[in-house]
Structure formats: C-alpha cells, structure tokens
Structure 1
Amino acid sequence: MTNSLDIDHLRTLVAIAECGGFSRAAAVRHISQPALSQHVRLLERGLKRKLFEKDGRVMRFTHDGETVLAEARQILAVHDQAMERLTVEKPRTITVGCTEHAAEQVLPEMLRALDNGFPGAATRFEIGRSTALVDAVTKGVVDLAFVLDPGSAGAGHEVARLPLTWYAAPSWTPPADGSAWPLVAFEEPCGLRERALVALDGEGHRVTVTGQSSTLEGVTAGVRAGLGVALLPTSGGRPHGLVERDDLPTTGDVSLRMVVRRGLEPDVELAAADAVARFFSTRPQLRLVPSPLVRSTSGA
C-alpha cells in the first residue's frame, strides 16, 4: 500500500463525485479524460482497492470507493485550510494608466492619492497611447486610465478639458507662400494628428507630415529639431525647448477622460476622481469637468 496520497488525485476523486461522472469532472479539473482516468488507476493501485465499478453505461463508486471519497474530502479540507493559514497574502495592486500628455502633471498626484488612500496596496502605472490604454482597461489588464478623446464623446467619463496649443522651435518660421506647412505628429491612428491637419487645411495651407513618432518624446524632439510644428494638449507647463505659436489656427481643447475596468472597487475610482479634481482645481488655466463621484472642490 502507498505511503502517501497525491492531493491532485484526491481532488479528481471528489470532482467525479460532485460532477456525477468522469467527462464532466475532467472538464472541471481542466485535464483530459485519459489523464483523469490515470489519476483513478494510480489511487486504486496505491491503495490496492477498487474504487469504481461499472453499472450499465455509468461508473459508480464501490463501497471502498465511498470510504476513500470520505477520507479524501477530510484530507482536502484540512490541506486547504492549512494553505490559507500559511500562504502569505499578496498585496493588493492598483494599476493606473495615463496618456503621455497628462502623465508628468496628473500621474504623480494620482499615485500619491492612491498611496495615501490604500496604504496596503502596491501601485503601478503604465504610460501609453490612449487607444492602447482603453484596450488594456477593457481587457482588465489596467484598473483605470486617463486618456485623450479629441471628439465630443468616448469611453469612460470626462474629467477635464485640456487646451490645444501649437508648438515650434524658437528659430522656426512659417513657410513662404505656396509652400507646404511641415507638421510633426503622432503615428496614425491619432485624433490630434487629424485635428491639426483639418485646422491647417481650413486655413488653406498644404500640409506635409515631416516627422512622426509613437511617443510624445519623439514628437517634441522632432519639433525641437526644427522639422515643423506640432499640436499638443497642455496639462501644465511647456515642453522643454519649444515655444507657443499663437499665429496658427485656433483648435479649441481636448477631452481628458477616465476609464475604469468593469468591476473596479468604487473606493479606488473615487480616490482617483478626487485626485484629479484636486489637481485641476489649482490650475485655473485648465477646465475641470465636475465628476458625479466627488463633491465640488474649492477653486474648481
């Protein structure tokens, strides 16, 4: 007789009893039916007892099988309780995503608020393109994210309006009459890129995209190098080495939206919304959109 019993094999035995058959138990255990049958054979061989017998077209527990099943349930109960007591609880992790345009200003305030509100949690962040972040939230990889929506509506709910500003290198000068206007933009698809093209086209300018990048750093580097102008949202501060151009078409502002994964705890969403409200209430040049999650903040 065997000197030990395999926990997985005992779980298989219990699954057969609870599911009422081998095929359903195999599906629940996420193993093939031959593998499940092998578990049973190894138990029978180790215990030197026949655990099942055929009754017509179905397999039923023998008397010995019922006895082993009762022991298996007791062993698994004690085993699982011990694992709960001995297993170190994993810290709660809150993953926050943010578009590059708002990361430098908004994200630090956000992470501080979450750290203060959930001292036992580990906070991690991801910075990326708005479309990729929305997809990550939808898949549950990211808990909440702050993304740009150049249109009038989009995912999540609006938390602020960021002014759109044209930037250029200090030495940059507009092209001569008839020449194409150089634009540095994000790689497609990008709503800001489309917004810039439409604005310049509306003024009768021909436009050539002279530089493009998947990152904000790449776009601003291209502008600093004098490749052209760029249309960027402002969440506070001016990109290093660039100057604002107020002689280009007015483009209004862009929506900053907060999207949260389905099932996110309300207290996490509330803490995030509150942090955003505090950040924008101290910056009158930016327009805070009141959130239904938080009460009005002084100065908003």
Structure 2
Amino acid sequence: MDIDALRSFLAFVETGSFTRAAKQVHRTQSAISMQMKKLEQDLNKKLFQKQGRLLNLSHDGQVFARYAKQLVQLHDETVKQMNAAQPSTLLRLGCPDDYAESVLPKLIKLLHKCWPNLDLQITCTPSNRVKIMIDSGHLDLGIITRSSDTEEGYTLESSQGVWTYNPLFNAHRIEPLPIAIFQRDCRFHQAATDGLHKQNRAFKIIACSGSASAQRGIVRSGVAIGAMAKLSIGDLTPLDCQSLPALPIVDIVLIRANSSQNPVTDITCLELCQSYISINNASEKKPSFIGTY
C-alpha cells in the first residue's frame, strides 16, 4: 500500500470529504479519488458508502482507519530513526579462545570508545587461523600470540606460561603424567612436550585442543594437568612444581589487515595498545593461590 494514499485516506477520515482532504494533502480531488480506488483494490474491500448525498466510511473503512493510522505513524517513526542514526562501522575481530575472557573484553571497551556506533563481529579461533583470516581479508583486526621468531603486531600484554591442575585430584602424581595441551603450533605445546622429553619423563597427551575452555574443562575434571598462559587459567590453580619443565612467557599482540577498507589504521592499532597497557598498569593486581606439592 502506498503511504501517500494512506495519508489521503486519513485526511478524508479527519475532514469527511474528498474536497477538503485534497486541500489538506495538497492534491487534486481526482487524484484523491484514484488513490482511494487503488486502496480498495489492494484490500479487496469497500471503504466508503453513500448515504444520500454524503460519502461516509463503510464498516470496513472504519476498521481500516485504525490500522492506517498505525501504519503511517510507524512509517514516520522509522524514517525519523533511520535519518537520525549515525552510520555504523563494521569491524571484524578475531581472537583465540585463550583470551576471550581476559584480553578481549578490555579491548572491546576501547574499540567502542573509538567508534560509538560500532558493528563488531567477533570470530573465536586459534592464533594461526586468525592470521590466515587476516591475510585473506576475512578479518580486519586480530588478537594473537606472537610467534617467538617474529616481531609482528602491536603488544597488548605478556603472560607467563604456567602448569595448572585441580588440587582435589591427583593427576599431577600419575605416571605417565597426563597432560592437556593446545595444538602443535602453540608455544606451550612445544615447551611442555620438548621439556618432558628432555627430562626423560613419561607423559601421555590426554587431549590437544585449540580451545582454552576445553583445556580448562579437562583439567578441572581431574583427568589431566594443563599448560597455558596465566591470564587464561580462569578458576584453575597454578601448579608450582620444580620438576616440571619451565613454560615460556608469551606476547599477546594486535595485528591488522592491510586493506583500504579496514577502519583500523596502524596509528589506531598503536593507540589502542597504548590505552590497553595504561588500563592494565592502573588496574589492581589480584593475588592468586599457588598450589604446591
């Protein structure tokens, strides 16, 4: 239905005549008549009835008048809101599951300060996959663990690798040692397995996963101990055991796609990381319980 025809119909409802309705909506009487005929065709209903020389609304016309008013009001409100709305900024962000509960929320706050009307689309996937999606143009921005042999990206923060366990269970005393670790391209995977091999210590990989949530769940159940960044351990307990191989410190960095459509520039990346570091430095450090045996 034509919105102008609805306005003309409501003008008739208000004035009671096509002549006065035509003046109100600044159309000719013949144009109003044609609009009303088209409305009746669209609805397959008679909206008007003659009573002597007068033209009144039929029963269907009276029913339709209520809906016509709502339709015009909804149309006008929609147009008003769409004209008032600021254009949104689409940003596609990739983040490993490791940092979804620690790094990601703080970065999201900073992103929304940069772009108040931000359309943020987040993909949780391992660092190597984030880099692939950045290179292929499927992501604009990525949080990743920096490779040990590169200086890529802009540093957000660093985190010490730790062994984790559930002190309610004895997984750390079992031989061969059951471990839950990330996939092979993870630095903690390499450090854990290489270190245990060098110690000639028997171990069994219970599971390899690209998900920190999955690793935490396995460790929490007491099936294995884990190896992950301290900022990713959640409610798990760090395991302080001198007989286990040391795990490296990892750098969590921000990388961007080199695309003209990317709303995030190199300067923006640098400013985001500087703001992130300032917030981290200002925040209070909560003490954590260290389990020993």
Same fold, judged at TM 0.5 (above): yes
Give the aligned residue type for 2:234: P
Could you say which residue in structure 2 is the equivalent of 1:108?
105
Unaligned runs of 5+ in 1: 1-85, 287-300
CA distance in 2, matches of 1:155, 1:111: 21
CA distance in 2, matches of 1:122, 1:268: 17
Could you say which residue in structure 2 is the equivalent of 1:273?
273
Could you say which residue in structure 2 is the equivalent of 1:221?
217
Could you say which residue in structure 1 is the equivalent of 2:186?
190
Deviation at 1:271, TM superposition (A): 4.3
- Correspondent of 1:149 among 146, 150, 161: 146
TM-score by length of 1: 0.58
Give the aligned residue type for 1:91: S
Is residue 2:234 matched to residue 1:239?
yes
Is residue 2:116 matched to residue 1:119?
yes
- Is the partner of 1:211 in helix, strand or coil? strand
- Is the partner of 1:205 in helix, strand or coil? coil
CA distance in 2, matches of 1:95, 1:244: 33
Q: Is the 8 A contact 2:145 2:251 kept in 1?
A: yes
The alignment-based identity, stated in percent, is 16
- Is the partner of 1:142 in helix, strand or coil? coil
Could you say which residue in structure 2 is the equivalent of 1:174?
172
TM-score by length of 2: 0.59
- Within-5 A mapping of 1:1-300: 91-149=88-146, 151-153=148-150, 155-170=152-167, 171-175=169-173, 179-235=175-231, 238-240=233-235, 242-247=236-241, 248-263=244-259, 264=262, 265-266=264-265, 268-282=268-282
Deviation at 1:235, TM superposition (A): 2.3
Larger Rg: 2
CA 279–145 in structure 1, closer or farther in 2 if over 3 Å, else same: farther
Give the aligned residue type for 1:229: I
Could you say which residue in structure 2 is the equivalent of 1:42?
none
Q: Is the 8 A contact 1:95 1:125 kept in 2?
A: yes
CA distance in 2, matches of 1:275, 1:98: 19
Q: Is the 8 A contact 1:158 1:257 kept in 2?
A: yes
Deviation at 1:145, TM superposition (A): 0.9
CA distance in 2, matches of 1:233, 1:219: 12
Structure 1 vs Structure 2 CA RMSD: 2.7
Corresponding residue pairs, total? 196
